[in-house]
């Protein structure tokens, strides 16, 4: 693939960054932009309501109305060479890597009613390319947040306080750090060659690497503020029972690690529900532990044996922004966001929405655990557990201020090995690793006497080839044919059998959660603790002008072994609405074999 020269200066950025404003950095500006400083001063529960609703966000319909570039990718190459961007060179990313990090403007996908905010970094014309840190420092070890000793807590709090105390136009300030998430998730950046396409680093293969780089600089800045280059960002160990509640260091109301905009009923010692759905009561005690462990087993081990299943679908220049989430992004990453945010805020702020999630210090520890899952996933048995090697992925670029306030362009290819980045995770037990679920006991007679639901008419089983599209307003059960049955062990190791639910369509502002079961004879499906549970779909809502259209892919090879269904011609797939019932349409359900 052709590569492009990396620009060291970018024409339209102001040489004189004072005072910082959206206008000096953006290609599209707004005179009504609220500065981050003002935003953060207002970040108190008493003010939040008024602030969040004081002005309807101006719709960007005019932008949407402009047609997206209709060239193929080769034409774009030529177009860029001919000066499509005037004096601005194409970003360091190869053309198919989507984000143009030099073009930051107004966040255009903020929820309705949220005042416009400037999410772009303070302007600076000097951008350098990332180089690896020297090996002279010991590895920064990220510890589990619920096990820190007093000294570590003091250090962490001090760093956070110093970060919060910086002026909001300082790239190291907490306000600026939080705004990074908004910029990359609420379409502040332009797409290379497609200025009218929106950019979001979620719902695709960019999810893991973007957040890895984000935390890398966040951690280095915290370390710099306390003059401790060995500082490792604590991770929220929600995949273990002891680590599942909000770690107490974040719940101390007098601490700089505290954030008031959280669900008041989800305070420690309550454990987070990794399969949380706001409209279904969470399990408790041992049942919740079992459910959490099997969810983790499902998402890490059985349903995510290939890169696409784990990391998410490819996302290249010209693509629409919702490509398809990987297993962990889908669940439990989303659950932790929704479970932690305050449901009494208009949009579940802070953690429940992307534009505001970075304002809660727990966000970074949540994502440290997500990041840790990437490292763990690669060590689990299975020959397809490798990073993508596609250059469109490896050359995707992001822009961050480093610990020396230097703007650095980073590429995905440089973040695949955390040890090369100078950090690793403290090894702790993985209680879910051995939590392979088992099949339910067979019923003596279907729907006969003794069945709790004998009075209820069972859901009819339709033919998957004719049943869709269908609104998910009640349980859908379909018979899905398999392309191949009775595969050998070797075939199964090479290629995964994948259940594909396509054309999942909903308004992006809605929180959607549905569960998927295979060959479950019960009408009331019982949750992840049984092998019949194949996985679930969920999303952190965000505003888009069109309906979101996405998909869910679940690896089912191992699950079919557990169900004794290896030799079956077809499977009965049940799609069970949990949240957003009636607000999502399903386009198709198929089974394919793929590596
Ligand atoms: Cu960028 Cu957990 O979201």
Q: How far is the CA of 335 from the centre of ligand 1 (A)?
A: 11
Ligand 1 atom closest to the Cα of residue 210 is 1
33-37, 105-109, 190-194: which has the minimum mean pLDDT? 33-37
- Is residue 47 annotated as a catalytic residue, yes or no? no
The domains spanning 2-434 and 461-594 adopt the same CATH topology: no
Q: How many Å lie between the centroid of ligand 1 and the Cα of residue 426?
A: 22
Higher pLDDT, 444 or 201: 201
Question: What does the alpha-carbon distance between residue 589 and residue 498 come to, in Å, rounded to a whole number?
Answer: 11
Region 14-34 average pLDDT: 30
Q: Which residues make up each annotated binding site?
A: 181, 202, 211, 333, 337, 367
Q: Which atom of ligand 1 is nearest to the CA of 370?
A: 2
Higher per-residue pLDDT: 405 or 44 = 405
Whether 366 sits among the annotated catalytic residues: the reply is no
d(CA 216, CA 155) in angstroms, rounded, equals 18
Name the E strands within 257-406. Answer: 397-401
Report yes or no: 36 and 120 within 8 Å, Cβ to Cβ: no
Q: 202 an active-site residue?
A: yes
Of these ranges, 10-14, 36-40, 427-431, the one predicted with the greatest mean pLDDT is 427-431
Catalytic site residue from 146, 172, 266, 333: 333
Residue 24 has pLDDT above 50, yes or no: no
Choosing from 146, 181, 266, 366, the catalytic residue is 181
Determine if ligand 1 sits within 6 Å of the CB of residue 357.
yes
Query: Tens digit of pLDDT for each residue in 285-301?
Result: 999 999 999 999 999 99
Task: Report the alpha-carbon distance of residue 222 to residue 407 in Å, rounded.
Answer: 17
Please choose, from the candidates 463, 317, 455, the residue with its C-alpha nearest in 3D space to the C-alpha of residue 391: 317
**What was the pLDDT predicted at 431?**
97
Q: Render the burial of 501-523: b for 16+ CB within 10 Å, e for the rest.
A: bbebbbebbebbbbbbbbbbebb
For ligand 1, the distance from its centroid to the CA atom of residue 203, given in whole angstroms, is 10
- The overall longest dimension of the chain from CA atoms, in Å, is 80
Give φ, ψ of 100 to 5 degrees.
Answer: -90, 100
What value does the mean pLDDT take over residues 26-32?
31
Out of 322-331, 518-527, 577-586, which region has the weakest mean confidence (pLDDT)? 518-527
pLDDT at 504: 96
Would you tell me the crossing angle of helices 150-165 and 207-225 to the nearest 10 degrees? 90
Nearest ligand 1 atom to the CA of 181 is 1
The reply to whether ligand 1 has any atom less than 6 angstroms from the CB of 353 is no
Q: Is the distance from the beta carbon of residue 117 to the nearest atom of ligand 1 less than 6 Å?
A: no
Average pLDDT over residues 236-247: 98
- CA gap 226, 162 in Å, rounded: 8
The alpha carbon of 110 and the centre of ligand 1 are apart by a number of angstroms equal to 15
pLDDT in tens, 215-240: 999 999 999 999 999 999 999 999 99
pLDDT at 2 over 90: no
Q: What is the mean pLDDT of residues 333-355?
A: 94
Distance CA 380, CA 265 (A): 36
Which burial class, exposed, middle or buried, applies to 414 when counting CB atoms under 10 A from its CB (0-12, 13-18, 19+)? middle
Q: Name the class of domain 2-434.
A: mainly alpha
Other C-beta atoms within 10 Å of 419: how many? 10
Please tell me the least confidently modeled range out of 78-82, 116-120, 275-279. Answer: 78-82
Ligand 1 site, residue 181, Cβ cutoff 6 A: yes
Catalytic residue selected from 367, 388, 398, 514: 367
CATH of the structural domain 461-594, one choice from 2.60.120, 3.40.1580, 3.40.50, 1.10.3470: 2.60.120
Answer whether residue 246 shows pLDDT above 70: yes
Q: Is 337 a catalytic residue?
A: yes
What are the angstrom distances between the C-alpha of 371 and each of 262, 319, 413, 437, 491? 22, 25, 15, 25, 30
The strand pairing partners of 400, in sequence order, are: 408
The answer to whether the CB of 205 falls within 8 A of the CB of 313 is yes
Strand partners, 496: 594
- Is the shortest distance between the CB of 212 and ligand 1 below 6 Å? no
In this predicted structure, the answer to whether residue 281 has a pLDDT above a threshold of 50 is yes
Ligand 1 centroid–CA 177 distance in Å is 13
Over residues 67-99, the pLDDT tens digits come to: 333 223 322 222 222 222 222 333 333 345 566
Domain spans in the chain, listed from the N-terminal domain onward: 2-434, 461-594
pTM of the full structure: 0.83
Cα(340) to centroid(ligand 1), Å: 13
pLDDT in tens, 468-488: 999 999 999 999 999 999 999
Give yes or no for residue 121 having a pLDDT over 60. Answer: yes
Write down the pLDDT at residue 455. Answer: 55
pLDDT number for residue 48: 30
Is pLDDT above 60 for 175? yes
The answer, yes or no, to whether residue 13 has pLDDT greater than 50, is no
Average pLDDT over residues 333-349: 95
Catalytic, 354? Answer yes
Q: Could you give the angle at the alpha carbon of 187 between the alpha carbons of 186 and 189, nearest 5°? A: 130
pLDDT of residue 63: 31
Is 333 close to ligand 1, i.e. is its CB under 6 Å away?
A: yes
Would you state the pLDDT for residue 496? 97
Give residue 351's pLDDT: 96
Q: How is residue 546 written in tokens?
A: 């069109």
When pLDDT is cut at 50, 70 and 90, the band that residue 563 belongs to is very high
Q: Judge contact between 336 and 352, C-beta under 8 A.
A: no
C-alpha span between 327 and 309 (Å, rounded): 6
Nearest CA to ligand 1 atom 3: 354
Catalytic (active site) residue 266: no
Mean pLDDT of the residues in the chain: 81
Instruction: Please give the annotated binding residues for Cu cation, written as ranges.
Output: 181, 202, 211, 333, 337, 367
33 band by pLDDT with thresholds 50, 70 and 90: very low
Is 172 in the active site? Answer: no
Counting from 1 in the atom list of ligand 1, the atom nearest the Cα of 336 is 2
Whether residue 550 is predicted with pLDDT greater than 70 in this model: the reply is yes
Strand order in the sheet with 461-463: 461-463, 476-481, 570-579, 513-518, 533-538
Q: Looking at the predicted structure, is the pLDDT value of residue 267 above 90?
A: yes
Which pLDDT does position 97 carry in this prediction? Answer: 58
The pLDDT of residue 356: 92
Find how far residue 344's CA is from the centre of its chain. Answer: 23
pLDDT at 456: 65
142: tokens are 């990220």
**Greater model confidence, 115 or 583:** 583
What would the DSSP string read from start to end of 76-126?
HHHHHHTTTTTTPPPPSS-TTS-EEEEEE-----PPTTPPPB--SPPP-SB
Structure tokens at 232: 């490792």
Please report the atom of ligand 1 found closest to the CA of residue 337.
2
Q: Which residue would you say has higher pLDDT here, 245 or 58? A: 245
Q: How far apart are the C-alpha atoms of 412 and 210, rounded to whole Å?
A: 8
Q: Which H or E element spans position 591?
A: strand 588-594
H or E element at residue 218:
helix 207-225
Given this model, what pLDDT does residue 99 score?
65
Question: What does the DSSP assignment read for 445-497?
Answer: STT-TT-TTTTSPPPPEEETTTS-SEE-SS-EEEEEE-S--S--HHHHHHSEE
Pick the more confident residue, 9 or 106. 106
Q: Give pLDDT, residue 553.
A: 97
Say yes or no: CB of residue 317 within 6 Å of ligand 1.
no
Indicate which atom in ligand 1 lies nearest the CA of residue 202.
1
SS3 332: helix
The pair of three-digit structure tokens given for residue 525, joined into one six-digit string: 């499906």
Measured CA to CA, the distance from residue 216 to residue 214 in angstroms comes to 5
Supply the pLDDT for residue 322. Answer: 82
Rounded to an integer, what distance in angstroms lies between the CA atom of residue 402 and that of residue 407? Answer: 6
Give the distance (Å) from ligand 1 centre to CA of residue 354: 6
Residue 265 confidence (pLDDT) above 70 = yes
Per cent of the chain over pLDDT 70 is 79
CA of 327 to the centre of ligand 1 (A): 14
């Amino acid at each position: 693939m052709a590569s492009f020269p990396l620009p060291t200066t970018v024409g339209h950025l102001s040489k004189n960054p004072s005072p910082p404003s959206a206008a000096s950095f953006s290609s599209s500006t707004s005179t009504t932009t609220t500065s981050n400083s003002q935003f953060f001063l207002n970040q108190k529960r008493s003010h939040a309501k008024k602030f969040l609703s004081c002005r309807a966000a101006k719709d960007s319909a005019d932008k949407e109305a402009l047609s997206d570039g209709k060239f193929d990718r080769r034409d774009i190459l030529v177009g860029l060479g001919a000066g499509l961007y005037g004096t601005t060179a194409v970003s360091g990313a190869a053309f198919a890597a989507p984000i143009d990090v030099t073009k930051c403007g107004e966040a255009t996908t903020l929820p309705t009613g949220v005042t416009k905010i400037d999410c772009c970094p303070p302007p600076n014309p000097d951008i350098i390319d990332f180089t690896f840190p020297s090996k002279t420092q010991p590895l920064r070890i990220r510890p589990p947040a619920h096990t820190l000793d007093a000294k570590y807590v003091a250090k962490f709090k001090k760093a956070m306080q110093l970060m919060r105390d910086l002026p909001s136009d300082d790239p190291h300030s907490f306000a600026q750090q939080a705004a990074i998430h908004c910029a990359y998730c609420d379409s502040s950046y332009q797409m290379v060659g497609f200025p009218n396409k929106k950019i979001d680093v979620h719902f695709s293969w960019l999810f893991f690497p973007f957040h890895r780089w984000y935390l890398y600089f966040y951690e280095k800045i915290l370390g710099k503020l306390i003059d401790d280059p060995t500082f490792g960002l604590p991770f929220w160990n929600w995949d273990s029972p002891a680590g599942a509640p909000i770690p107490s260091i974040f719940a101390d109301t007098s601490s700089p690690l505290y954030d008031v905009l959280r669900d008041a009923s989800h305070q420690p010692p309550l454990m987070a529900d990794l399969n949380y759905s706001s409209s279904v009561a969470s399990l408790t005690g041992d049942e919740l532990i079992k459910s959490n462990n099997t969810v983790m087993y499902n998402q890490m081990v059985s349903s995510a044996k290939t890169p696409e299943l784990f990391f998410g679908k490819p996302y290249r220049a010209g693509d629409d922004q919702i490509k398809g989430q990987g297993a962990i992004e889908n669940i439990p990453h989303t659950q932790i966001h929704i479970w932690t945010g305050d449901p009494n805020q208009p949009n579940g702020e802070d953690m429940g929405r992307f534009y505001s999630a970075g304002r809660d210090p727990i966000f970074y520890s949540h994502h440290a655990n997500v990041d840790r899952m990437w490292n763990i996933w690669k060590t689990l048995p299975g020959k397809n557990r490798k990073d993508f090697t596609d250059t469109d992925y490896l050359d995707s670029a992001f822009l961050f201020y480093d610990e020396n306030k230097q703007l650095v362009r980073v590429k995905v290819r440089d973040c695949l090995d955390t040890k090369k980045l100078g950090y690793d995770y403290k090894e702790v037990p993985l209680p879910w690793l051995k939590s392979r679920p088992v099949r339910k006991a067979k019923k003596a007679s279907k729907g006969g006497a003794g069945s709790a639901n004998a009075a209820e008419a069972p859901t009819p089983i339709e033919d998957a080839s004719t049943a869709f599209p269908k609104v998910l307003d009640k349980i859908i059960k379909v018979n899905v044919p398999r392309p191949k049955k009775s595969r050998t062990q070797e075939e199964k190791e090479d290629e995964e059998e994948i259940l594909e639910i396509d054309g999942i369509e909903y308004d992006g502002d809605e929180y959607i959660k549905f569960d998927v079961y295979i060959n479950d004879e019960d009408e009331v499906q019982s949750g992840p603790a049984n092998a019949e549970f194949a996985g679930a779909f969920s999303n952190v809502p965000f505003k888009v002008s069109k309906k979101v259209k996405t998909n869910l892919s679940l690896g089912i090879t191992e699950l079919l072994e557990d169900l004794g269904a290896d030799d079956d011609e077809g499977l009965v797939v049940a799609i069970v609405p949990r949240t957003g019932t009636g607000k999502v349409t399903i386009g198709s359900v198929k089974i394919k074999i793929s590596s």
